[in-house]
Chain A
Amino acid sequence: LAKTTQPISMDSYEGQEVNITCSHNNIATNDYITWYQQFPSQGPRFIIQGYKTKVTNEVASLFIPADRKSSTLSLPRVSLSDTAVYYCLVGALYNFNKFYFGSGTKLNVKP
């Protein structure tokens, strides 16, 4: 299983764009990159998933360079409600859901 490395915490202010980078040097050819958001005492919520280049949905963008050894989750114009822990996961199409959750990044959005 490919392990991931993320910053333990980040601070931001409301209205700013936040970029959280994840390192996954041992990513395999079949691996996809998935990001989850988790609020205290709740289950992780799926944010975005990608394989290469850029993926965008209504809440975030995911940038993946050509070597795929890292990825960056971009949250546009964060609000206080975006304060949460963000997890980067790497897993294959056929990994039968055996994901490895790292420590995640605690994002603290200030007013």
Chain B
Amino acid sequence: KAGVTQTPRYLIKTRGQQVTLSCSPISGHRSVSWYQQTPGQGLQFLFEYFSETQRNKGNFPGRFSGRQFSNSRSEMNVSTLELGDSALYLCASSTGLAGASPDTQYFGPGTRLTVL
């Protein structure tokens, strides 16, 4: 079974620009979560999508948004980039369903975003 894939792996942008990152979950998984990882703040939860709907949201400004398509693929968008947005952006997929077993998240390799 293929793992979680993220594209692109590396991205360089300048302040004020916007960026779109893509995540393809494991086949059969309907939940996609996004995280931001920086040396100073660690891994922080951005939001989670399930069946094309945002189900959970972390404490990030509205410049960070996302969406999920009917095939469960997800995109994350950051508008008006700031220097502090430089980070490793990770997505994770899971079934998203409550059941007898824990719903384990599996992470992708991440997208390294550098804002100049």
Contact = CB atoms under 8 A, between A and B. Distances in A.
Give the interface residue-count category, chain A.
Answer: 20 to 34
Contacts of B4: 43
Interface of A: 32, 34, 36, 41-46, 49, 51, 87, 91, 93-94, 96-104
Interface of B: 4, 31, 33, 35, 42-45, 48, 50, 55-56, 58, 88, 90, 92, 94, 96, 98-99, 101-110, 112
Contact of A93 (B33, B58, B90, B99): B99
Contacts of A98: 33, 45, 48, 56, 58
Nearest to B43: A101
Given A46-B106, A98-B48, A93 B42 contact: no
5 tightest A-B CB contacts, nearest first: A43-B107, A101-B43, A32-B102, A94-B98, A97-B33
Nearest to B31: A97
A91 B88 CA distance: 23
Contacts of A101: 35, 42-45
Contacts of B88: 41
A86 to B, nearest CB: 13
Nearest to B99: A93
A8 B63 CA distance: 32
A42 B110 contact: yes
Chain A contact residues, majority secondary structure: loop
A33 to B, nearest CB: 9
Given A32-B102, A98-B45, 12 more contacts: A41-B88, A42-B109, A42-B110, A43-B4, A43-B107, A51-B102, A96-B31, A97-B96, A97-B103, A98-B33, A99-B45, A101-B45
Contacts of A94: 98
A97 B48 contact: yes
A91 B98 CA distance: 12
Of residues A87, A93, A100, A104, which shows the largest number of chain B Cβ atoms within 10 Å of its Cβ?
A93
Contact of B109 (A34, A43, A46, A91): A43
A49 B55 contact: no
